[in-house]
Structure 1
């Protein structure tokens, strides 16, 4: 009986530790979007590695599906330069987080709103690395579409 009790306690403590790490990953992503919405480059930079990779999957004007790669600094400049008269919000709808040691993946479906009107939807896929001081975003790829969002 003692062995079963010990096993249950061990399993519960492992589950709690895993949930704690998942929350730390989620908090990093939420902090990234906090900086994004506040147009605060300092907050955004605190959540990413030194050279994060950013990519987007979407269609061009001809309807071809392409992958675009963007420099993080270009994203920062474009977010910071949005005029105060423009309201934008990326609403994360859920988090599906998987962790293996110092690596994590987070899948976050989203809706993007511009001036309180629906603009597009998609999914973000974050890859994160824990360098011992906390989780940092090393790779972000997203999809963007206007149809099939509900």
Structure 2
């Protein structure tokens, strides 16, 4: 009876550990980890979260109110993050996560407010497109909006 009880306890623990690993490999967790690395200026981790061909775009309005789309290579984004002086303080506060997952594809949308050296800079929405490669989510596309109006 003791052996049977020990086997049951072992199998229960094994099931709990396997669920923990699966729970961590979610689109939401990837985006949370992305922003943690972003705030830490950890470009090695940031690079690991995306495919090499990742596209990064921002949508904003110019002084005349015309919609502008700017595109940045992910490698340039990483260089920009690495070049931020250590004494500079920046924070992107995420207000919520909207997640739609469908097999190999997921979309994570995160409204945000951005602060630079403690001062409000802008707000908007991030939209991450993720693809699941053999159980590992990777960012393939990131587009965000930037405005100073209608913020949270």
Task: Bin the TM-score by the shorter chain.
Answer: 0.7 to 0.9
The offset of 1:61, in angstroms, is 3.7
Match of 1:58, SS state, is strand
Distance between the aligned counterparts of 1:113 and 1:23, measured in 2?
29
Distance between the aligned counterparts of 1:82 and 1:63, measured in 2?
30
Instruction: Determine which of 31, 39, 63 is the counterpart of 1:29.
Output: 31
Q: Which residue of 1 aligns with 2:122?
A: 120
- Give the number of aligned pairs: 132
Q: Which residue of 2 aligns with 1:71?
A: 73
Q: Give the alignment of 1:97-112 within 5 angstroms.
A: 97-112=99-114
Q: Which residue of 1 aligns with 2:5?
A: none
Off by >4 Å, runs of 4+ in structure 1: 20-23
Identify if the C-alpha distance between structure 1 residues 22 and 94 changes in structure 2 by more than 3 Å, giving closer, same or farther: farther
Aligned Cα RMSD in Å?
1.7
Q: 2:60 matched to 1:58?
A: yes
The offset of 1:46, in angstroms, is 1.1
Distance between the aligned counterparts of 2:110 and 2:53, measured in 1?
22
Q: Which residue of 1 aligns with 2:41?
A: 39
Distance between the aligned counterparts of 2:109 and 2:24, measured in 1?
12
The one-character-per-residue Cα deviations of 1:53-106 (angstroms, maximum 9, x if unpaired) are: 100000224431111111001110111101112100111110010011100001
Distance between the aligned counterparts of 1:100 and 1:112, measured in 2?
30
The offset of 1:21, in angstroms, is 6.6
